[in-house]
Structure 1
Amino acid sequence: MADQNIVIEEANGKAGRATFVDLGREFAASVPHSVPQIRSEQLELIDPGKNPFFGHASVQLFIAYRAGKPVGRIAAHIDHLALELPVEQGMGPGTGMFGYFDAEDEAVAHALLARAEAWLRDKGMTRVIGPISLSIWEEPGLLVKGHDHSPMIMMGHDPAHYQPWIEGAGYGHAKSLLTYDLDISRPFPPLIQRIVQSGERNERIRIRPVDKSRWPEEIRQVLAILNDAWSDNWGFVPFTEDEIAYAAKKLKPVIKPELNMLAELDGRPVAFMVVLPDINEVLTRTGGKLFPFGWFHLLRALGNPKGLGMRVPLMGVLKEFQSSRLASQLAFMLISKIRENANSLYGSTRGEIGWILDDNKGMIAIADAIESKINREYVIYEKPL
């Protein structure tokens, strides 16, 4: 039976967004191993005037109150580009989403989910998936494995009790997203080293760092490969022109050329690998605050990420090569070179690859071959409306 004391209100405008973010920060602060994020960055992600995701999406934020006290939050949203995709790729016509889910107890959780579902149903949606906050490229999925350690940069972290609350509201498993932990202090297995050495002898192949002096052009090239390489993947939504420009601006401060590389075949870029220093390690020390001294630690880490872990959020090979042995060879070459640089130049000992779809056999085979191990699993749920 529904709790009649729960009132759910829309969170609109600047004040509503601030309340929504601050409530999420309160919830996160109570979760072991959660990492405090920069508040201004969190506000920007839900600001229609700043995040280009809103250029192709309809979004409504909700806050739950009990006796006047905020006790939970949720976002309901429709990505109109996702509606145009094939149903077999996980999105498609009639598919809405929920995200930014936090709740004090199960009654609040179910009330929030019901409110998000009602909003989506009123907009003509026939199915809901989530949590996805807000774009598939931001923080997708609910953490169901790996609660005992902190997430790396741009990965979510949820308390374990959210899983039964969501499943108890009638949601079933749609897709798992996996992250892999890798010891980058030691060389790869001999077989992988031989594959890499063979590629290095091939005059047609060149592995090169991104050129930050041509950054807009370089990031456009990377995302063009990404849009092609991932186009058949579950949940894929292509980057728009505005999102490419936004990504270029946001990523540039954390991009180190020696850690972010392109693979060229006969002078043509055909594969890439993006690696980000784990700024979460710095945010843990500063409490997510830039003032009075947090900015100093953050800037120092951006300039020289000494000892930080490294996350591989994106990598890809053009689709035309994915069924060939060249695809895995290029991947191994990129990973090997960047692993070597991360360890020798910055003293990094730990890397994380992901997320990877649970049915992406090619990437899972690569992760297994370099002896990485699954350390976190996120689940995207679905429910008919």
Structure 2
Amino acid sequence: MSIAIEEVRGGADLTDILDLPLRLHAADPAYVPPLRPLVLRRIDPKNPFFRRASLRFFRARRGRETVGSLSLLLDEAHDRHGGERTAFFGFFECERDHEAARALFGAVSERARALGATSLRGPRNVTRVEDIGLLIEGYESRPPLLAGHHPPYYRELIEAEGFSKRYDMLAYDTPLFDPAGRRRELPEALRQRAASVRIPGLEVRRVAVHRLSRDMEIAHAVFTEAYRGVPEVVPMSRAEFVNLGRAFVALANPRLLQIATVRGEPAAFAVCLPELNEAFAAARGRLWPLGWARAAAALRRVRTASFKLIGVVPAYRSTGLYALLVQHVVDGLRAAGYERLEASLIHEDNAPMRHIVESAGCVPYRRYRVYERPLGRREQAT
């Protein structure tokens, strides 16, 4: 029976696409279904991100059965920032079916070309900081928060369609205690670097709930400056940054969110969150009717913290301020009872960030790959 490709507009058809991975990965113990409300929040047209981007969904059907899905994202801010015309594919899920994968990528490529794109890149579901890349190493472990999990044959399906590596993203981790239960100290060089910080007017403190709006402004200002030169990172508007962060800050431990200012001006920030996938796994992707209760119970047993972002404005990068923030966060981790530190996802070419996490004793445990293939001649959209 031949494959039919349909563009999905929403409603029950979109639910069908979002249910597909639950069926495909049901037997994989490392797969963690993302919470449906969070997925719907990210793809909601009211998300500030979609003021400058558009997202379309496609599914492959063999008869009445859905056998694959793929999305097409056009990000105008990315194209303006990078001076290119790139389309992104995401939400890739597929049976081990080369015909279905070929039909999906063919349909999305044709639509992307018609809209003026010259290359197709991915996986990238929505923003650049969540669900990006295809897992190619670390299949036996659970994915970190804001990262996906994919079976090994997905790589085979994608590469068979002519995609090649653009870059890799790395997930790191390290235990906070040794096998005998003794506290593992941060490497001596990092501790000395933290102790040597001398910046007049420096204040390092926890994010405060009563002034969360102001602290989010500080973090956004630092993020914009600190990540300006990182490959493929497009500056976020404040609205986008707040929309992405608020849902997770609400579940964070204040000890793990650090803000640094110098004479009241933004200087650095660090965001470390409970590894919520350890709790989300218990919800099995849904909050109702009992998923919320299982997730809430599991949340109390989370023993991993995930280092998601650390940023230092260029003026203070050589001062050791990053080491001081890492020291503050790790002290908070231990005080809160965490046993493992995870850091993800980091671009393989982001040498400053890799230096920070590697100097804290972290080693890679997962690798994600972003692929690309050219689309050839532009065509006029119809």
- What's the TM-score, normalizing by structure 1? 0.90
Residues 142 and 380 of structure 1 are in contact (CA less than 8 Å); yes or no, is this contact kept in structure 2?
Answer: yes
Secondary structure of residue in 2 paired with 1:29: coil
Residues 24 and 73 of structure 1 are in contact (CA less than 8 Å); yes or no, is this contact kept in structure 2?
Answer: no
Q: State the Cα deviation string for residues 40-94 of structure 1 (Å, max 9, x = none).
A: 2222322223x222221122100100122100000011001111023xxxxx322
Residue aligning to 2:212: 215
Q: Does 1:352 align with 2:342?
A: yes
The alignment covers a number of residue pairs equal to 368
Task: Report 1:9-28 matches (<5 A).
Answer: 9-28=6-25
Residue aligning to 1:331: 322
Residues 220 and 244 of structure 1 are in contact (CA less than 8 Å); yes or no, is this contact kept in structure 2?
Answer: no
Amino acid at match of 1:263: A
Task: Choose the corresponding residue for 1:123, options 94, 115, 120.
Answer: 115
Q: State the Cα deviation string for residues 240-274 of structure 1 (Å, max 9, x = none).
A: 24313423432331232211001223442211110
| Matched-pair identity in % | 30
Task: Choose the corresponding residue for 1:60, options 56, 59, 72.
Answer: 56
Q: State the Cα deviation string for residues 86-140 of structure 1 (Å, max 9, x = none).
A: 3xxxxx3221110000111222112111111111001011111101012212211
Alpha-carbon deviation of 1:196? 1.6
Residues 129 and 146 of structure 2 are in contact (CA less than 8 Å); yes or no, is this contact kept in structure 1?
Answer: no
Residue aligning to 2:366: 376
Residue aligning to 1:341: 332
Secondary structure of residue in 1 paired with 2:271: strand
Q: CA RMSD in A?
A: 1.9
Q: Following the alignment from structure 1 to structure 2, what is the Cα–Cα distance between the partners of residues 118 and 225? A: 39
Alpha-carbon deviation of 1:38? 1.6
Q: Which structure 2 residue ranges, 5 or more long, are not aligned?
A: 178-183, 376-382
Q: Following the alignment from structure 2 to structure 1, what is the Cα–Cα distance between the partners of residues 189 and 44? A: 48
Secondary structure of residue in 2 paired with 1:262: strand
In structure 2, the CA distance between the partners of 1:314 and 1:297, relative to structure 1 (3 Å rule), is same
Task: Choose the corresponding residue for 1:310, options 301, 305, 308.
Answer: 305
Alpha-carbon deviation of 1:203? 5.3
Residues 228 and 235 of structure 2 are in contact (CA less than 8 Å); yes or no, is this contact kept in structure 1?
Answer: yes
Task: Choose the corresponding residue for 1:182, options 163, 166, 174.
Answer: 174
Alpha-carbon deviation of 1:318? 0.9
Q: Following the alignment from structure 1 to structure 2, what is the Cα–Cα distance between the partners of residues 100 and 293? A: 26
Q: Following the alignment from structure 1 to structure 2, what is the Cα–Cα distance between the partners of residues 338 and 241? A: 24
Q: Following the alignment from structure 2 to structure 1, what is the Cα–Cα distance between the partners of residues 226 and 123? A: 24
Task: Report 1:92-107 matches (<5 A).
Answer: 92-104=83-95, 105-107=97-99
Secondary structure of residue in 1 paired with 2:157: helix
Residues 18 and 43 of structure 1 are in contact (CA less than 8 Å); yes or no, is this contact kept in structure 2?
Answer: no
Amino acid at match of 1:384: P
Q: Following the alignment from structure 1 to structure 2, what is the Cα–Cα distance between the partners of residues 193 and 377? A: 28
Q: Following the alignment from structure 1 to structure 2, what is the Cα–Cα distance between the partners of residues 124 and 320? A: 39
Residues 259 and 275 of structure 1 are in contact (CA less than 8 Å); yes or no, is this contact kept in structure 2?
Answer: yes
More displaced, 258-267 or 60-69?
A: 258-267
Residue aligning to 1:150: 142
Task: Choose the corresponding residue for 1:279, options 276, 280, 286.
Answer: 276
Residue aligning to 1:40: 37
Q: State the Cα deviation string for residues 329-357 of structure 1 (Å, max 9, x = none).
A: 21111111111211122x11111112111
